[in-house]
Chain A
Amino acid sequence: MRKQISLAMAAAMALGMAVPAAAEGTPITFFNSKMEIQTQLEEKLQDDYAADDVTVYYSSDTVAAEMAKVYSAKTPYTVAMVDAKDIYSLGVEYGVDLSDQDWVANTTQAIEIDGKVLGFPVCVEARGLIYNKTAIEEITGEEFVPENYKTLDAFKELLDTLKEGGMESPVAIMKEDWSLAAHYLAMFYEEREDVNAYIDALYAGEADVEGDARFNSLMDTFDVLKENNYAKDAAGAAVREDSEMYLADGDVAFMFGGNWDWAVMAEFDPEGEYGIMPVPQNDAEEYYTLVGGGSKYLFVDNTEYTTDEQREAGKALLNWFANDPEGQDFLVNTCALVPAFSNIELEVADPLGQSVKAFADADMLTPSYNYLPDDHYAKLGQSMQAYLTNDLDRAGLAADIVEYWKNTTPVER
């Protein structure tokens, strides 16, 4: 018995001492802020990426809070994945100039500030109305062609047909503030020739939001979506994953969202036929585009807490994503992202990504506005939530928007 115990203890010690084979190359850290690809990143970069010794981190905190934490602690990540607005606020001070990198020539989505390329675009993402083609066709009995429903009137007719065909509520609306304010409401700034001029007018309190054509057009559509929302009676209690599940299962036919929603939808029915179409509006021709662009950016730390070798390793990693066939395959197939580089010719893996790619290739992508103030999504998100639950009317929402911008310090651009 004693012998067996000794053997067991020796085995336990041996297990405890066992360490993974030492990774070679320069040790670097990688911060990921895209939850849905964390496992893939860990598996690939930590276990499979041979060039350097990468450790991948993720935080459920906001990107800004995480960056504040690591820079205060003087332990920045070598490469960090942040949102576009973070590149504008952090990049100038903490980002390495990447202008001399090979991949710069192959993308239109990199972020350049004062002549320096500071942000590497991880992917292209766009928002619009996600549809379940199969569910629609099962009821209408004919092929669903999104272009036939560009206008709100045509779209309303389709919704009526779906309802008559037994789909009780054909729409799902997410109640999350970022979806309502940063994604839906923001389209009313983005859908115009000179966005900066309009934002300046908002800051100055000179814009007439209530009478604005774009605002009213988008809110007319929002009213129709709201009216047909499966969670109409408790719209503020809708659970995002439920909405995505209903859409994937065909219980609803439409949901406002973006190609990032695929990560959850694929859990329910990865074989279904889906796509993203522009939000229908009666002045459709001019605004028949998805809204989006480069999403999630990588920057390489330039502080004294990162060595030159680590910076070079960081740059090499970005290059691997953009130019190495293995890195490209990882981005497109393993992570199911729409690449932001013209030299990547791999077929996009997921149906929502395919829609986005098709619109991007056809130059039908209205660029996202990257200079919204940090509290925009939260504060106007509250107003949009109140509008969603019928606690605020359109005039009240317009007044909130005017009031918000008037009292906000302009973002430098």
Chain B
Amino acid sequence: MKKNTLSYKMAQYLMFAGVSTVLFCGVVIIPFIYGLYLTFTSWDGVSRSKPFVGLANYAAAFADADFWSAMGRTLIYSAIAVILVNIVAFLLAYMVTSGVKGQNFFRAGFFVPNLIGGIVLGYVWQFVFKRAFAALFGVSLLGTTGPNAMIALIIVSVWQYAGYMMLIYVAGFMSVSKSLVEAAQIDGCTPTQSTWYVTVPLMRSSFVQCLFLSITRCFMVYDVNLSLTNGEPAGKSIMAAMHVYNQAFTYRNYGTGQAEALILFVVCAIVGVTQVYIGKKGEVAA
């Protein structure tokens, strides 16, 4: 059988990736296209009729001040959370690869928060912020005015994601050959200098991955948002994904909600892809 024919290649592709392609199309591509179609209708989410309304939903989305407030809030939250998640994750990774006693235990321990679902995590931390804070400091961190709810969201996100990102940084640290670090130290580098000038540049791909993952996760945050603050107080902690959900399912403006979801997707994709492009461009190999 000739190996360079299209049918052979197709058969090979289907054999190895057929099932996953079907699944990917079924749960991602087709719903995405169908969702795109719904942005041009005024469907309420239930009715049989889906009247075509052209670009009205996009106009409504661009005019929806609440959506843009939520988007602005998401940008601020993401910017702070992404930076903190990565700093904490990097420091944890540095610590658990430095030969400290019981480092495998610590690795597992720091990773555990990531295994707890966002909804459960939100309720657990709600208890901490409301009850424990009230008992210890006489004031609750949630439900009070000011940016407290946003601070709480950031703390929980850092706690949740830092352990996961830590694992990627750990892999990055491990991938850097010890001989390079030793060579640098023989040449007179202090341990800090060898980390900064040798190890960090060589694990740039870890930074790219971690930043991409944390950016996309923070932009799409919904579960923790729902269970921890539910948008309170007075809607001051409603993130973009929660607004989209409310718009589509609670306010029953499915078309507008879908259009807003698409805008959120585009913003998130632009930020994520730009970050990966810039990050990859400067990657160096040992």
Contact = CB atoms under 8 A, between A and B. Distances in A.
Nearest to A61: B249
Contact of A378 (B45, B48, B143, B250): B250
B234 A237 contact: no
B130 A237 contact: yes
Nearest to B130: A237
B251 interface: yes
Given A89-B252, A237-B130, A378-B246, A64 B46 contact: yes
A234 B144 contact: yes
A374 interface: yes
A84 to B, nearest CB: 15
A248 B246 CA distance: 34
Interface stretch (A159-167, A214-222, A325-333, A384-392): A384-392
Interface stretch (A2-10, A65-73, A267-275, A308-316): A65-73
A379 B243 CA distance: 11
Given A68-B254, A378-B251, A385 B232 contact: yes
A234 B235 CA distance: 16
B47 A93 contact: yes
B144 A65 contact: no
B232 A65 contact: no
Contact of B46 (A89, A175, A233, A234): A89
B143 A238 contact: yes
A71 B232 contact: no
A62 interface: yes
A321 B246 CA distance: 34
B142 interface: yes
B223 interface: no
A20 B209 CA distance: 51
Nearest to B131: A239
A94 B134 CA distance: 49
A320 B233 CA distance: 44
Contacts of A379: 66, 235
A236 interface: yes
A94 B49 CA distance: 12
A64 B252 contact: yes
Given A62-B250, A378-B251, A382-B234, A237 B144 contact: yes
Contacts of B48: 93
Contact of B251 (A233, A375, A392): A375
A258 to B, nearest CB: 21
B46 A237 contact: no
Interface string B174-188: 000000000000000
Contacts of B252: 64, 68, 89, 374
Contacts of B66: 379
Contacts of B250: 62, 64-65, 374-375, 378
Given A375-B250, A385-B232, A175 B143 contact: yes
A2 B47 CA distance: 61
Interface string B36-47: 000000001111
B194 interface: no
A129 interface: no
Nearest to A390: B145
A391 B251 contact: no
Interface string B46-65: 11100000000000000000
A64 B249 CA distance: 6
A318 to B, nearest CB: 21
A90 interface: yes
B253 to A, nearest CB: 8
B233 A386 contact: yes
A3 B140 CA distance: 61
B46 A374 contact: no
30 contacts: A61-B249, A62-B250, A64-B249, A67-B45, A68-B249, A68-B254, A71-B46, A89-B46, A90-B46, A93-B47, A175-B143, A234-B143, A234-B144, A236-B143, A236-B144, A236-B145, A236-B233, A237-B140, A237-B142, A375-B246, A375-B251, A378-B235, A382-B231, A385-B232, A385-B235, A386-B233, A389-B233, A389-B234, A391-B233, A392-B234
Interface of B: 44-48, 66, 130, 134, 139-140, 142-145, 231-235, 246, 249-252, 254
Interface of A: 61-62, 64-65, 67-68, 71-72, 89-90, 93-94, 175, 233-239, 373-375, 378-379, 382-383, 385-386, 389, 391-392
Given A68-B45, A233-B139, A236-B143, 12 more contacts: A68-B46, A68-B254, A89-B44, A234-B144, A236-B234, A237-B130, A237-B134, A237-B140, A375-B250, A378-B250, A385-B232, A391-B145
5 residue pairs, one from A and one from B, having the closest CB atoms = A237-B143, A236-B143, A68-B45, A382-B235, A65-B249
